[in-house]
Each structure stands twice: as structure tokens, then as C-alpha cells.
A and B are shown apart, each in its own frame.
Chain A
Amino acid sequence: MAFNGHQFDDDILDEDGTPSKQLRPDKEMPESAASAGRASSPRRTSNSMSRLRKDSMKKTRPPFPWFGMDIGGTLVKLVYFEPKDITAEEEQEEVDNLKSIRRYLTSNIAYGKTGHRDVHLELQDLTLCGRTGNLHFIRFPTQDLPAFLQMARNKHFSSLHTTLCATGGGAYKFESDFRTMADLQLHKLDELDCLIRGVLYIDSVMSRGLSECYYFENPTDPDHCIQKPYTLENPYPLLLVNIGSGVSILAVYSENNYKRVTGTSLGGGTFLGLCCLLTGCSTFEEALKMASDGESTRVDKLVRDIYGGDYERFGLPGWAVASSFGNMMSKEKRESVSKEDLARATLVTITNNIGSITRMCALNENIERVVFVGNFLRVNTLSMKLLAYAMDYWSKGQLKALFLQHEVQHLSEATPTSMLERAPSPLNAFLCLCVHPGLLWCSRSPAGASPSILTSSKDALLNLLHTPLAL
């Protein structure tokens, strides 16, 4: 299990050392400043405005640690912001507990048996809430969540007065576990809101340097298929396909206007689940490795297996899969295939199907750009190329499959951009901090309202986000 954190064992919590001291909302923030900031294009913010915002942020900044969590069906994705601009004064003020968390997370890449930090994804020198630091991406299996909670309890996370920002189904399912086991309050945020904000944010952050978005040029020609950067400058409308355990397909018309078109239960979980049953493997990486060594055409029945070549009457090429796992109807063929072949066929089947449904949604919604994200695509170039190929071939070049450089891996699903802290204000208000491309918006929820109400309606949330904080 992740986070068995021996380093923490000797740490003793200072009950009074709440980091909330950092937040001193004793002065009214100039409303005009925030409004102006909101109105201008987030990516081209003038210096003066940045400064204004910085000033205001200082006062409304939530205390550290800054976490965002996405608890999916299979994986928990954790985002941690590590401040790098800590002053000596702050260093001194920082409670030991907080310090040790920071050290533990940033000095390790593996936590327990199943927790991983994806170092290659780390975003450095990021400015968030007026603070500069690095964004870390950590993941562990959802089934190990109880162990994580046990650790949080042992480490007295709750003493940091932290309210964790969380999204994904697990934010709902495990909310009471967080409370009872670790005395942690979850601030639940809608999964799809977070997803879209995450995608837009990471694109904006990355576009300063490397282009985050890319596509495959010549997807139908394996020898010349190369990755090319794509500027997502004018992204709308776009179809966002999030492939986690299952698949959600969203049509995004603007940052705040999107709908879930459909979804399918044939997703990453199906790939891994079937691979586990068919090959006896136990991890995604293992399944993927097998798939890369296998040959799906031994498992699938192709058009040419039936027609000897192309089915010209209907313009079906001979190499197209006529029946996934179709050859497995025959006993002899079942006995002649390898585990690798089966893993490959499973991958191809699931990927093609997602491509097929996506293409139909794109046609129905009249959208030509598709961004594929989600954990299924993590280290899964095979599927990405297959999706690029399928989109291009079956749409006769009409549809473009886009991917994110980081594969937004966890980020896409996670809520790196939304964090919530409980403000020690007399009003006992909640602060909802949401990172917006290049901007941090602080908003205050109505007194007494629970965070879940805040996010239960997207509109309500957005409304709050656009209201400058006034304490």
C-alpha cells in the first residue's frame, strides 16, 4: 500500500500550529480588480492586473498543503502542489507535520507497494495562487484507499484543518470513510467540471513552452506515423473522450458549456478485467506489455477470413475486423493462441469500439475535433495510434484525434486545479479555490452551505467562481 510513510512515524503534531494563520482575510478585496481580471483573457493578462491579483490572492490564499484528488473506479489520482518559494519565515512557521508531508511526497517516487509518483509528469515553476512551485502527480489503486486513510489518520492530517478537494465517484462513495477514519472533510467537485477545467488548464500551462496537445500525422501509414504538436488555440467545439474504467464522451462548446453525450462501459476497466481473466495478469502495465507482444489477427476474424479478400459490395477492406474474438469460436484456434495474442485482441477490441462510438457521436454532434484523455491511454501508444488510425480511416480524414502531451494522465481526471480550504473566518465560510487558466479565483460559499451543495450544480459553482471573495 502507498504512503506507509515511515518518515512520518515520529512526527508529532502541533495541535495549535494550524496553517490557517497564513490566511488573514481581514481586509476587503477590491472587487473591481477581480472582476477585471476575470473579464480579460486569462492567457494574456497584463502585468498590472497580475500584480493586483497577486495582492488579493495573498490574503485569500488557502493554507498549505494543497491537494486535489480524483478517486476513480480503479485508480486514485492525487495532485500535490509543492511550494518552492517558501521564505525563511514561512519555513519557520511551517508546522512539522506539514513539512514532513512535503518531504515525504517530494523525495519519494514510490509509496508502499502500489503508490507511484509520475516524475515525468511533474510540472515545475508553476504559479498558483501567487505561489510558485511544482505540481506532482501521484496515483494508487482505489482498492488501497483504506490503507491511505489509515495513514492519514496516523499522520493526523486532520490537524492541518485541511478540507480535501476531491472528485470522481469515490469522492461520494468514500466521503464518510474519510470523515470517520481520518477525520477529513471532503470538498466534492463534479467530475466532469473538473475534467474540462483540467484539460483547459494544463493546455494553457503547457502552451507557454511545449505544446500540450498533439496528433498523429499519417495515422494510416505506420512507417510515417509521427507525433505532431497541435495548437488548441480555438478549441471549441470539441469532443472530449475520457477513457477511465469506463468511458465518458462530452461535447464541449465553451469552457462552461458542455454536455455528456454518452458513455460506454467498455473502457479501461474492461480491458484490464478481461486481460486478467484471459491471461492471469494483474496490472495494467503487465497487460499492456503482453498486448504489445501479441497478434490480434489470430484471435479476431477479419473480413478476408470470410470473404477471402475485401467485401467490395460494401466497401469493407479485407483487413478490417469482422468479428472480435470471432476465431475463438473454433476449438482448435482457441488452443493455438497465446496470452499475448489475447491481450492484444482485447486492447484492439476495446480501442476500436471506443473509436467507433466516438466517431458516431462526433457525426451526431457535428464536431470534428476529438481529444482523447484518461488513464487508459497512459503509456498506451498502441491505443492512441489505433484511435488516430480508426478516426482518420472511417471518417475518410474528416475527424482528427488529439491527445495531450502529458496524456494529462492523471491530471485530466484529477482536480489539480481545484482545491478547497476551510477558512477560519468567523463566518465559517468555505473557500473554494479554483485554478483557471493562469488565474486563481477565490470564492466564498454562502455561510453554512456544505461543499457538496456548492458543486451539486455546475451553474452554482461557476457562479461562485466568478464572484470575487469578500470577507
Chain B
Amino acid sequence: MAECVGVDSNTSGHSMDKSITLPPDEIFRNLENAKRFAIDIGGSLTKLAYYSTVQHKVAKVRSFDTTAKLYEISVQEEVTARLHFIKFENAYIETCLDFIKDHLVNTETKVIKATGGGAHKFKELIEKKLGLNVDKEDEMTCLIKGCNFVLKNIPHEAFVYARHADSEFRFQTANPDIFPYLLVNIGSGVSIVKVESEDQFERIGGSSIGGGTFWGLGALLTKTKRFDELLQLASKGQHTNVDMLVKDIYGGSYGCLGLTGDLIASSFGKSATADKEFSKEDMAKSLLHMISNDIGQLACLYAKLHNLSRVYFGGFFIRGHPVTMHTITYSINFFTKGEVQALFLRHEGYLGAIGAFLKGAEEDNPNQYSWGENYAGSSGLMSVSPDMNPMQRARSGTFDMLEMDRLERQLVNLPLLQDPSSYIPDTVDLTEDALARDYWLYCFEDALDGVVKRAVASQPDIPEAVVRAEKFRQKYRHKLLTLRHQPFAYGSLTVRSLLDTREHCLNEFNFPDPYSKIKQRENDMALKHYQRTVESLDALSWEDRQFALVSGVLAGNVFDWGAKAVSDIFFLNLGVDIILGVMPFVRELLSRGTEVVLASNSGPALNDVTNGELQILTERIAAMDPVAGLQEDRLTLVQSGSSSPCLDLSRLDKVLAMVVRERQTDLVIIEGMGRAIHTNYYATLSCESLKMAVIKNSWLADRLGGKLFSVVFKYEVPLGKVHHNGATLMLS
């Protein structure tokens, strides 16, 4: 009784402001190497997908045998894979196709995958313009494939909508096990699909009362042609003028059935009895309620029958419209009494295009990799609430982009997480905490000048670095501005996401590692002090030594991006962190016979040591330190898979997870403010854990009720588990 496709293109409503022209060069990026095109043409929007490679600079460290320098830093060109998804209005399709044709260098591409209701209409145009064969793919299959992909690869993909809450969007923690789920796609009709695995799904039902009913019936009742205008009308209307409520029949509530007086007993019931005029707004509102309630009710009945608790809603009826998300949420809450939550997807509009792309890229097997959203290249979720940010709205309606990077490593859960499905990496959700949000946004904006300066300084021999650094400044400042208005743009706003966004922006403008030189200098210096430090530690009594070791680790990380109160003197102490803090600590563990797995960042982030650097440092230390173990198998260096000062324990390198399992790790030490305070402070592990950091930010210290430079030393033992013979994982 239903269908999944969009609507005929001839009925599309071009409601956006066309005075803003589409800047093709800004949105179709990396076309030179683009291949594997896919297109999803809906009723009013076209979504284009392609695979491309990006060349960017990376800082590599190389060890030399000379004693003069610890290691050499060389900036190399690296090619990484990136997926581009672009959404624009159908009106621009011809312009866009022309632009793509002109810039397409890769001539291997012969086919473009296509899906969506409008695919057949534009088939000829695409074939003529691009000279590619249009290969049509089943719409629902694409939709499901796309849905699986975003749920797996984007941690904050799904959200719950709460209109009057402090933050409208409450993002869900990514459950590593995404199946089974129910997808309710509300196009012109409704399709209800049960998804059980990557390739297994079934359309278990549907309804003919969907977006087309709202639009068609709404147009008849209100003489308003456009979908968006109808929603506008609805948001201003009073449905109680048109609907017959329980109280209109009962005078109050129908107590013994628990039906409250405000419940709609009969949609449009008043227009049958009262002989009067009804306002367009009221009728549109009543219609919206009627349709949303009906869909919500059916979705609940299907969810119940198939025993599913995760229900995602998508389709053009939903597509980021706060009004429809609210009414659907209300309906689901009503019918399931809160047992099932209505979930929406941040990239819902892209699902078809992503799926079609994946169909076309099957030989590359994109699903064997982990992918990450590139915050620098993605537009993020826009609120379409008209009064919120009119500028953004017009722009988001014109075009929207999503870019995803193929990650070098496949990311998985830390096997020692107590409950992966409830694990939330971030300690404070800035989307919900307005005070903290204001502070951190200000903090990052304030620190921007310093970051730009350091970026320029990191490339002293390249004159155009100044220009690039300026571009970086603009980009990141714009991101911060966007986040101030729309904190939910990239999922939950956190200190971690702010840092990641900055890293992405720096990478975008080829500043892969602004701290490499400083780190090199400091590591070099610290190494010179290593021997003496170790010797003086060894001279201490056992108890004193333990205290000194912990102090060393903590003292090391007294440098931070947000550490405004910290004077410049600490900038000189970078190498202290790892060489004079962490390494002696590790050495102590090793000398006691404990196996240690030392995990460090895969890529550069601020002054954090990278795995590459650590390899060299360890070699050097091993050469001068006779303590057993440093050379032996008992110390394992692994990559964390992360390139951030923070750490998401649900997205760690697969190799790390494997080593942790093999070595029967039973103690996890998380060190540093980014890893142990901003993230993972509340993380519950299934083994002993130790979280240590110094609060280096006075605002945060105040907030936590402590003083600046207070020490956090959090030792937790799960009930009945004390570590014995297993290895220790040190996350540094």
C-alpha cells in the first residue's frame, strides 16, 4: 500500500532563494581524481556521490644514526581516499553536470549509478552531458545500504528530537551492533523496512498516507502549492479548531480508558459538524497531526509485532523539518508510552546516494574500511527552523556537502569496555550545557591566533604558508560561528569535536603537524635528561619512587590548548611528558615483570607524541637504559588509531584491540587531560583502571570545584576484579 520513492519532479517545490547562486568550484571538490559516480534524484533535490583521492602533506619522522639529532622530520605527500557527497536543488542539475564534465580528468569512468524517483527523468540529460551510462539501482536497496553505512561510520548519526529541550537534538551513542532496526521512510507514501543485517532486509509494511497525502490534500484544502509553505502554515495553526477532541465529546477526559481530554478523537471532526470557515493554518496543522499520528501508530504496531526497539525515520516528509520530527516523536511517545524512541538521522538525505555509490564501488569493498566524517569539508546538520538562522537556511537549501575520509586503520571497540552500547566518550556534552559551550567556543576562538602563528612557524621555508594559515583561520572561525548557532551540526558538540574540527581544518590547508618541530626539539632535550632522571628515581625508596613516578607523569602534561592560565614556560616542557614522565613510569612496571602495551596516537595532534615518534624514542631509550624489558617483548608499542588529544574508546585501532585481547590486559591507564578528563572520565571498564591528569584550565577547575593544577587520580576496580598477571595498557 505504499512506496518509497520521492515525488514526480514536476511537482517539486523550489522554495529556496535562487538569488544565491551555486558555486560549483566550492562544492565539487577533488574532481580531478573523481571516479565511481552515483546520483540520487528525488522530487526536489539531487544528491551526487563520488570517490576521490586527496593528496596532502604528512609529517613523517625518520631515525638517523647520528647522535646530533634525535630524528628527522620530513613532510611527505600522502594520498588518501575521500568520499564526496553533494546535495543541491534539481534546478541546478544542468549547471552541475556541465561543471563536472569540464573538470573530470579521469576517463576510466564509464558508468554512473542512479537511483531515486527522478532518475528516469534525467537519464538522458546525464548520459548526454557526462557521456556516462546511467545504471539504475533499486531505491530501497540503496537507502538501506546508505543507512547501514552512516550508522556504522558516523558515531553521532542518530538523534532524538525534543523541540522544547535545551538542545533540540539529542544524539545517540553509537551502538556497535546496529542490527536489527526498523526504517520508516516517509516519501509520498510510507515504507516500513526491517533491516536484519548488511544484506538482509524486508519491506514488512507501509501506508499510503504519507508526505504525498500531506502535500496533495494540503494543497487542496489550503490552496497552498509548496510543501515547505504547507509546513510553515502548519507550524502556525491550531489543530483544536478543526479536530474533534476527546473533551469535545466527553466534556473532559475519558478517565477509565486513560484518554486525556486533549487527545484527538476525530481528525477534522469539527469540520463535519460546524458550518463555518476554517483557517488555512488550522487545517494544515490538523492534517500534519493526522498524518504524523497515523504513521507513528503504524510504525509502533510494526515495531511491536517484530519486537524492534530502534526505529529510524527518514524521507522527504522528515528531512530535517523540526515540525514533522516533533509530531512524529510525539506520536511515537504516545503510542509506545515511551518504550520506543523515534530516531532521526543527521545524513538522512544522503542515504540513497551513499547506497548507490556503495553499489557501484563494490569491487573496492568500501565496507572493509572505517570511514570518518571530515568536519572541515562537511556542511553539518542545519536547523531549518526559519527563525533560527535565516542565512544558514537559504544556504543549506542551496547546497550541502558531506565528506568522509577513509581511515588508515579499521576502528573497533576497546574489548575492555564494560558496556559498549552505553559508552559515551565525552564527559560534557556542550550541546546540552550552554555555559560550558560558551566558554569553550570562546576559548577556541581566543586560541586561534596562536594556532595560526604556530602553523606558519612550522613551515618556515614555505612563504605561501602564511596565505594558507589565513585560510585555515577563516575556515575554522566560520566553523566556530556555525557551531555557536547550531551546536548540533556535527553531532554532540564536545571539546573533542572542537579539537577534531580544528585538526581537520589544519589538514585541509596542509598543516599536518604544526608542533612537529617543537616536539622534536623538546624530545631531544628531554632525552638528554632521561638517564639522570631514571637514576635519581632508582635512588628513591619504593614508596617515594611510586610517588615521584606519578608526579612525573602528571607534571609532564601541564601544557594545553585551553590552559590559558599556564604561562609560556610550560611550552618548553613538551618532551617531559613522554620521556621523563611516561617512560620512567612504564619502566617501573616493566621492571616489576608486568607486560606493558603502550598506545599512542596514529597521527599528530597538538604536542602529543605519535606512534612514529615513540618508536624512535623507545629505541633510543632502550639503547641507553639497561632495564630489562625495554628491549624485550614485554613492551609493545601500538597505535591507538586516533589523531586527537582526546580518545574515543569505541573507535580504536583493530590491532590494538587484538593485542589487548592476546595479552589478557587487566589494567588500563589513561593519562592526560584530553583522554582522562574531557573524555573517558566516566568510562567504565571491565578491568582495573587508572585515570590520571592535571586540571590545567582554571575555568574547568572552578567548575569541578577544585583549584587550578589539581590532580585527578582516579583508580577504579570493578567488583571482584583485581589485576594479577595480565598486561597493562597505557593510553598516552
CA distance A142 to B272 in the complex (A): 11
A49 on interface, CB distance cutoff 8 Å: no
B residues near A334, Cβ cutoff 8 Å: 216, 219-220
A118 vs chain B, min Cβ distance (A): 20
B297 at the interface (CB under 8 A from A): yes
Q: Which residue of A lies closest to B13 (CB)?
A: A329
Q: Are A245 and B7 in contact (CB under 8 A)?
A: no
Chain B residues with Cβ under 8 A from A266's Cβ? 209, 267, 290, 294
Contacts A306-B3, A322-B189: A328 and B217 contacting too (C-beta < 8 A)?
Answer: yes
Q: In the complex where A173-B250, A277-B283 touch, is A357 in contact with B221 (Cβ < 8 A)?
A: no
Interface membership of A59, Cβ < 8 A: no
Q: Which of A141, A356, A361, A457 has the most CB of B within 10 A?
A: A356
In the complex the two chains form, what is the Cα distance from A349 to B213 in whole Å?
10
A364 within 8 A of B: yes
A353–B209 touching, CB < 8 Å:
yes
**Given that A245-B249, A303-B3, A331-B225 are contacting pairs, would A274 and B268 also be in contact in the complex, using a CB cutoff of 8 Å?**
yes
User: Which residue of the partner chain A has the closest CB to B271?
Assistant: A273
**Separation in Å of the B208 CB from the closest CB of chain A?**
4
Q: Which of B251-259, B553-561, B565-573, B629-637 contacts A (4 or more CB under 8 A)?
A: B251-259
Q: Cα distance A314–B1 when bound, in Å?
A: 11
Given contacts A265-B243, A277-B268, A325-B216, contact A361 B301 (CB under 8 A): yes
Cβ contact within 8 Å between B248 and A260: no
Cβ-neighbour of A143 out of B188, B254, B273 (below 8 A): B273
- The complex places the Cα of A363 from the Cα of B216 at a distance, in Å, of 31
Q: Is B10 part of the binding interface, using a Cβ–Cβ cutoff of 8 Å? A: yes
Known: A172-B250, A267-B266. Is A349-B275 also a contact (CB below 8 A)?
no
B244 on interface, CB distance cutoff 8 Å: yes
Complex CA–CA separation, A363 to B204 (angstroms):
13
> A323 on the interface (CB 8 Å rule)?
yes
Q: Which residues of A contact B217 (CB under 8 A)?
A: 274, 324-325, 328
User: Which of A274, A322, A328 is most buried by chain B, counting CB atoms within 10 A of its CB?
Assistant: A322
Question: Within the assembled complex, what's the spacing in Å between the Cα atoms of A387 and B176?
Answer: 43
The answer to whether B297 and A262 touch across the interface, beta carbons within 8 angstroms, is yes
B272 engages A269 (CB within 8 Å): yes
A170: CB under 8 A from chain B?
Answer: yes
Asked whether B575 is an interface residue with its Cβ less than 8 Å from the other chain, the reply is: no
Q: Which residues of A contact B440 (CB under 8 A)?
A: none
- Cα separation A267 to B244 with both chains bound (whole Å): 11
Q: Does B302 contact A (CB under 8 A)?
A: yes
Q: Are B301 and A364 in contact (CB under 8 A)?
A: yes
Residues in B neighbouring A72, C-beta threshold 8 A: 249
Listed residue (A175, A267, A274) with the most chain B CB atoms within 10 angstroms of its CB: A274
* A327 touches B (CB below 8 Å): yes
CB contacts (< 8 Å) of A272 on chain B: these are 272
Kindly list chain B residues whose C-beta atoms are within 8 Å of the C-beta of A299: 216
Q: Across the interface, do A356 and B1 meet the contact criterion of CB distance under 8 Å?
A: yes
Q: Is the interface of A mostly helix, strand, loop or mixed?
A: helix
B237 contacts A by Cβ under 8 Å:
no
| B584 in contact (CB, < 8 A) | no
Which residue of A73, A301, A357 has the most chain B CB atoms within 10 A of its CB atom?
A73
Interface check B2, CB cutoff 8 A: yes
Tell me the bound Cα distance from A270 to B293 in angstroms: 14
B297 touches A357 (CB 8 A): yes
Assess the B208–A274 pair: CB atoms within 8 A: no
Q: Is the beta-carbon distance between A306 and B117 smaller than 8 angstroms?
A: yes
Please state if A364 and B304 are interface contacts (CB–CB under 8 Å): yes
Give CA–CA (A274, B278) in the complex, Å: 12
Q: Mark A313-343, 1 if CB is under 8 A from B, else 0.
A: 1101000111111111111001000000010
- Size class of the A contact interface (CB-based, 8 Å): 35 or more
- A-side contacts of B219, CB under 8 Å: 328-329, 334
Task: Point out the residues of chain B lying under 8 angstroms from A314, CB to CB.
Answer: 140, 191, 203
B209 touches A324 (CB 8 A): yes
Whether A320 lies near B266 (C-beta < 8 A) is: no
B117 / chain A contacts, CB cutoff of 8 Å: 306
For the complex, what is the distance from the CA of A143 to the CA of B5, rounded to whole Å? Answer: 43
Contact assessment for B212 and A301 in the assembled complex, using a CB-CB cutoff below 8 Å:
yes
Q: Does B269 contact A (CB under 8 A)?
A: yes
CB distance A169 to B249 under 8 Å?
yes
Given A352-B208, A357-B297, are A270 and B269 also a contact pair (CB < 8 Å)? yes
Q: Which residues of A contact B5 (CB under 8 A)?
A: 306
A128-162 to B contact mask, C-beta < 8 Å, 1/0: 00000000000001110000000000000000000
Interface centre among B3, B5, B203, B263 (most CB of A within 10 A): B3
| Bound CA–CA A326/B304 (angstroms) | 28
Q: Is A311 among interface residues, defined by CB-CB distance under 8 A?
A: yes
A residues within 8 A CB of B2?
316, 320-323
CB of B207 within 8 A of chain A? yes
Report the separation of the CA atoms of residues A311 and B335 in the bound assembly, to the nearest whole angstrom. 30
Name the residue in A174, A268, A316, A458 with the highest tally of chain B Cβ atoms < 10 Å from its Cβ: A316
Which residues of chain A have C-beta atoms less than 8 A from B255's C-beta?
456
Instruction: Encode B315-348 as 1/0 by CB contact (under 8 A) with A.
Output: 0000000000000000000010000000000000
Pairwise interchain contact A246-B266, C-beta atoms closer than 8 A = yes
Given A192-B257, A316-B3, A349-B213, the answer on whether A245 and B188 have CB atoms closer than 8 Å is: no
A192–B256 alpha-carbon span in the complex (Å): 10
How far apart are the CA atoms of A360 and B1 in the complex, in Å?
Answer: 14
Contact present for A276 and B271 (CB under 8 Å): yes
A276 to B269, CA, bound (A): 10
| B155 close to chain A: CB less than 8 A | no
Task: Say whether B294 contacts A353, CB under 8 Å.
Answer: yes
Say yes or no for B57: interface residue by CB 8 A criterion.
no
Smallest CB gap from B190: residue in A: A323
Over the window 271-296 of chain A, the binary record of Cβ atoms lying under 8 Å from chain B Cβ atoms (1 yes, 0 no) is: 01111111000100000000000000
Please, which residue of chain B has its CB at the minimum distance from the CB of A322?
B3
**Other-chain residue from B1, B243, B244 in contact with A320 (beta carbon distance below 8 A):** B1
User: Is B8 an interface residue, CB under 8 A from the partner?
Assistant: yes
Q: By the criterion CB–CB under 8 Å, are B208 and A264 in contact?
A: no
Residue numbers in B under 8 Å from A301 (CB-CB): 188-189, 212
Are the C-beta atoms of B298 and A356 separated by less than 8 Å? yes
B659 within 8 A of A: no
A14–B242 CA distance with the chains assembled, in angstroms: 46
Residues of chain B with a CB closer than 8 A to A74's CB: 266, 269, 272-273
- Give per-residue flags for B1-38: 1 if the beta carbon is below 8 A from chain A beta carbons, else 0: 11101011011000000000000000000000000000
CB-nearest residue of chain B relative to A244?
B266
The yes or no answer to A392 lying at the interface (CB within 8 A) is no
Within the assembled complex, what's the spacing in Å between the Cα atoms of A262 and B3? 25
Complex formed: what's the CA distance from A301 to B213 in Å? 10
* Contact bitstring B181-225, A, C-beta under 8 A = 1, else 0: 000000111010000000000010101111111011101110001
Chain B residues packing against A (C-beta within 8 Å): 1-3, 5, 7-8, 10-11, 117, 138, 140-141, 187-189, 191, 203, 205, 207-213, 215-217, 219-221, 225, 242-244, 246-252, 254-257, 263-275, 278, 283, 290, 293-294, 297-298, 301-302, 304-305, 335
A sample of 20 more A-B contacts (CB under 8 A), given A314-B191, A325-B216, A331-B225, is A143-B274, A169-B246, A169-B250, A192-B257, A265-B267, A265-B293, A266-B267, A266-B294, A268-B266, A269-B265, A272-B272, A282-B275, A301-B188, A324-B210, A324-B213, A329-B215, A329-B219, A349-B209, A353-B207, A356-B298
11 A/B residue pairs, CB under 8 Å, sorted by A: A73-B265, A169-B246, A169-B250, A169-B251, A192-B257, A245-B272, A265-B269, A272-B272, A273-B272, A300-B208, A322-B208
